[in-house]
Amino acid sequence: MALPTGRCEMTTVQENVVTDDAQAVPAGVPLARRLRPLIGMTVVAAVALASGMGGGADRYEIFVATHFLAFVIAAAGLNILYGYSGLVSLGHGAFFSVGAYGMGWGLLNTGLPFAVLLVLVLLAAVAIGLVLVLPTLRVQGHFLAMVTVAYASVVHVILVNWDSVTGGPLGLSISPRRLETWVPSEEVLFGFAVVTAAAALLFMSLVRTSSVGRAWRSIRQSEVSAACLAVPVRRYRVLAFVVSAVLAAFGGVIYGLNVGFLTPSEYDVMLSINLLIAVIVGGSGRFLGPVLGSAIVVIGPEFFRFLGDHRELMLGLILIAALSFGRGGIAGLLEDLARPIISRLRGSGRRTAGAGAAHEGEVA
Amino acid sequence: MGAQHIDEVCLTVSDVSVEFGGLHALRNVSATVRPGTVLGIVGPNGAGKTTLFNVVSGVVRATSGSVRLDGEDVTGLPPHLRARHGLSRTFQNLALNEEMTVLENVLMGAQRRVPVSLGRLAWDVVTRRSAARELDARRDSLRVMAALGLLDDRDRLISELPFGTRRRVDMARALSGSPRTLLLDEPFSGLGDRERPLMAEIIHAIRKEGTVGMVLVEHDMTVVTELCDELVVLNEGTVLASGDPRSVLADPVVQEAYLGPQLERRRGARR
């Protein structure tokens, strides 16, 4: 009621607008349209699954694929934190470790079923995330990166030194017998990883266009203007951090089960850096970002096996190349390539509809 | 509609002072805004116009004095809670999210309807109340966008739009979500000759509706005299004069402070 509605006498403004259009435009975006990218992804996943099962993929290929999916889950969370909210974290390896070690320790030392352990591990990630986010709330950018990188190294030190729980430098071996009850084969774990990764990506893409996602994206732009737009900035920063912590821990659970053997050297600062690289190279804030980025970080080195110890170098080169494309990473580059095609298709559609034809011609 | 609100006040600034380490950015500034009226704020650079906006929106805390929105004291509240008391603003630099579409940007105006408590928010998602709210927000945003002639651009990214259209998007965002008090931070700056009358008409239309009170910071004196019901002249953080725009601008004290340097220069040239 308090707004200039159609009955305002705004002649020049109104001339541009057929008021009835306001009713003609559907107010909501149909869920089917929002789910479209997801349907495509599920098909890809199903094909991958089928080829993995039926095509006679060897155990190593399934191992790498599961490793990849564990990274996708964690990177989806980090995409919410960095890609949507603009908060850099070089410490999410800490939550990945919480997931891997929490599940490993739980399987070895308690008789609880897998599902219960999973819930407990994720709740632990929430609790640890809530504690660790508090000191970060006053800092941004580089300072935030420094605080979080400290988390990653502290957790690594704890893993090395807390012998009674983590097994110290030697690590923990999840005994096959205990594991077999819940994860009878690599294929089952792979299937579980596919479903979880799809759910994580679904959540990530649906939340983006919700009021929460818009609030996160406005924080990325400017915390001051977000606050003026009624966004409780600190709460949403906490929320983004905790959500990404939970997804990182989930990725860690799958990663740990996949390897079956937990050594602290795998959960060092480099893990956190790799997770962030996956988001940035893949394309931060984009749907395909975590997928493409994880593929490069996890599967990429497999292709450069012939380089031996120098394959880390290739990752560095890809990182530099992707960063030179700009903030969109590889997903953004693909988008830029696809945009002219899409707009041409849309343009021709509009011309057949007869609307805006003159304007289109003018531009062309 | 305007008549029933005549003795209502949507914004009261009383005796507000702001100090930045000994520097008085504002000194005992008072002003009131009624729904359906426009209060103009003018003054030379550094007079405290931006600080006054920041004190009202909560970005800067007042050293003393109080701010009331719709009769409620909001002096101690952070910006996001003040927005929930019906306060809305446009930005001189627009502050639009370039990676969002026009519709998404305008939908940010409805953020004030989202509960602050995350627990409440989660409960709303479970009970589907948030979906209903989102639909309402879309309807509201599209209505405002239709009134401002933005419907054709609804799915465009901000980065694809010319500046004049971006200003209107900023305005639409400020208007969606039913504000009571609207702060307009130089809404005419950067607009071309064709877009200026359009913006003036938008402001006129809001004024005519009679439910939203506006505060306008603007340099163009013809715009100010044309649009404002009341004018406050700030100089070095203090209110130099206030009242009816024409008489205020005719006041010799105002002319001296505001145009002083120019007059002196002109006198010097004559000699």
B158-211: pLDDT as tens digits: 988 999 999 999 999 999 988 999 999 999 988 988 899 999 999 999 999 889
pLDDT band at A154 (very low <50, low <70, confident <90, very high): very high
Q: Is the pLDDT of residue A82 over 60?
A: yes
Put simply, the chain B residues between 181 and 240 with a CB less than 8 A from any chain A CB are 197-198, 201-202, 205-206, 208-209, 211-212
What is the average pLDDT value for chain B, to the nearest integer? 88
Q: What is the mean pLDDT of residues A166-170?
A: 83
Phi, then psi, of B211 in degrees rounded to 5: -110, -15
Residues in chain B closer than 8 A to A6 (CB atoms) = 143, 146-147
How is residue A169 annotated by DSSP?
A: G
Chain A CA closest to residue B60: A224
For residue A358, what pLDDT is reported? 35
Q: Which chain A residues touch B111 with a CB distance below 8 Å?
A: 211, 214-215, 218, 229-231
CB atoms within 10 A of CB B45: 7
Would you state the structure tokens that stand for residue B242, as one six-digit string? Answer: 């206030």
In the block, tokens 């589907």 appear at B128
Q: Which residues pair with B40 in a beta bridge?
A: B216, B231
Summarised one tens digit per residue, pLDDT across range A218-261 is 999 999 999 999 999 999 999 999 999 999 999 999 999 988 88
Residues sharing a CB contact under 8 Å with residue A54, sequence separation 6 or more, in sequence order: none
Q: What distance in Å separates residue B22's CA from the closest CA in chain A?
A: 24
Residue with tokens 């390539």: A337
Which pTM was predicted?
0.85
Q: Mind telling me how many Å the CA of A329 is from chain B's nearest CA? A: 15
DSSP per residue, chain B:
--GGGTT--SEEEEEEEEEETTEEEEEEEEEEE-TT-EEEEE-STTSSHHHHHHHHHTSS--SEEEEEETTEE-TT--HHHHHTTTEEE--TT----TTSBHHHHHHGGGGGGS-S-HHHHHHHHHTTHHHHHHHHHHHHHHHHHHHTT-GGGTTSBGGGS-HHHHHHHHHHHHHTT--SEEEEESTTTT--TTHHHHHHHHHHHHHHH-S-EEEEE-S-HHHHHHH-SEEEEEETTEEEEEESHHHHHH-HHHHHHHHHHHHHHHHHHH-
What is the predicted pLDDT for the residue at A359? 37
Rounded distance, CA A69 to CA A294, Å? 8
CATH 3.30.565.10 assigned to B3-270: no
- Dist. CA A11–CA A24, nearest whole Å: 21
Interface residue ranges in chain A relative to chain B, Cβ cutoff 8 Å: 1-6, 8-14, 16-17, 19, 21-22, 25, 27-28, 209-212, 214-215, 217-218, 221-222, 224-225, 227-233, 235, 239, 285, 356
CB B213 within 8 A of CB B11: yes
CA distance A260 to B189: 63
Measured CA to CA, the distance from residue A126 to residue A186 in angstroms comes to 28
The pLDDT of residue A50 is 62
Asked whether the predicted pLDDT for residue A16 surpasses 60, the reply is no
Q: Which among B95, B100, B143 has CB closest to A3?
A: B143
Tell me what percent of the residues of chain A surpass a pLDDT of 90.
Answer: 36
Query: CA separation (Å) from B22 to B15, B19, B184?
Result: 18, 6, 29
B96 to chain A nearest CA, in Å? 8
Q: Please give the pLDDT value at position A345.
A: 75
**What is the 3-state composition of chain A as percent helix, strand, coil, each rounded to the nearest 5?**
80, 0, 20
Look at A22 and B111 and tell me if their CB atoms are within 8 Å.
no
Q: Which residue from B83, B142, B145 is facing A229, i.e. has the nearest CB?
A: B83
Q: Give the position of tokens 């599961």.
A: A66
What are A230's two structure tokens?
């009624």
Query: Could you tell me which residues come within 8 angstroms of residue A68 by beta carbon, excluding any fewer than 6 positions away?
Result: A294, A295, A298, A299
**C-alpha distance from A259 to closest chain B C-alpha (Å):** 35
| Residues 6+ away with beta carbon under 8 Å from A331 | A282, A283, A286, A287, A288, A289, A292
Q: Is A235–B116 a contact, with Cβ atoms under 8 angstroms apart? A: yes
Domain range list for chain B:
3-270
- Average pLDDT in the B16-28 region? 90
- Secondary structure string (H, E, C) spanning A234-255: HHHHHHHHHHHHHHHHHHHHHH
- pLDDT, one tens digit per residue, over B125-140 is 888 888 899 999 999 9
Q: What is the mean pLDDT of residues B44-61?
A: 90
How far the first Cα of chain A sits from its last, in Å, is: 41
List residues bridging with B41 in a β-sheet. Answer: B217, B232
Identity of the amino acid at A194: V
Residue of A nearest to B117 (CA): A235
Per-residue confidence (pLDDT) for residue B255, from 0 to 100: 80
Tell me, what amino acid is at B242? S
For residues B169 and A21, which has the higher predicted lDDT (pLDDT)? B169
Residue A60 confidence (pLDDT) = 83
Q: Is there a contact between B29 and B16 (Cβ–Cβ < 8 Å)?
A: yes
Residue of B nearest to A240 (CA): B118
Per-residue pLDDT band at A327 (split at 50, 70, 90)? confident
Distance CA B226, CA B9 (A): 22
The secondary structure of A34-47 as a DSSP string is HHHHHHHHHHHHHH
CA gap A34, A205 in Å, rounded: 8
Please state, for a pLDDT cut of 70, what percent of chain A lies above it: 76
Strand partners for B238: B235
Q: What is the pLDDT of residue A24?
A: 40
In this prediction, residues A328-343 reach a mean pLDDT of: 82
Would you state the pLDDT for residue A78? 96
Chain A CA closest to residue B207: A4
Q: In 10 A of CB B245, how many CB atoms?
A: 20
The pLDDT value recorded for residue B21 is 84
What residues of chain B lie within 8 A of the CB of A2, using their CB? 178-180, 209, 211-212
Cα–Cα distances in angstroms (integers) from residue A80 to residues A180, A230, A249, B258, in the given order: 34, 20, 15, 50
| Predicted confidence band of residue A5 (pLDDT cuts 50, 70, 90) | very low
Dist CA A5 CA A174 (whole Å): 65
Residues 82 through 121 of chain B touching chain A, CB cutoff 8 Å: 83-84, 89, 91, 95, 97, 99-100, 104, 107-112, 114, 116, 118, 121
- For the cut 80, the answer to whether the pLDDT of residue B5 exceeds it is no
* Per-residue pLDDT band at B23 (split at 50, 70, 90): confident
pLDDT of residue A56: 60
Residue from A253, A269, A262 nearest A100 by CA: A253
Average pLDDT over residues A111-124: 92
Instruction: Name the β-bridge partners of B26.
Output: B18
Instruction: Quote the tokens at residue A161.
Output: 């030194």
At A4 the pLDDT is: 45
Report the residue of A13, A126, A237, A238 to disrupt the B interface, i.e. the one with the largest count of B CBs within 10 Å.
Answer: A13
Q: Evaluate the CA torsion angle A225, A226, A229, A231 in order and state its sign.
A: negative
CA distance from start to end of chain B: 56
Closest CA to A97 of A312, A298, A356, A271: A271
Whether A227 sits inside 8 A of B59 (CB atoms) is yes
For residue B262, name the pLDDT band (cuts at 50, 70, 90).
Answer: low
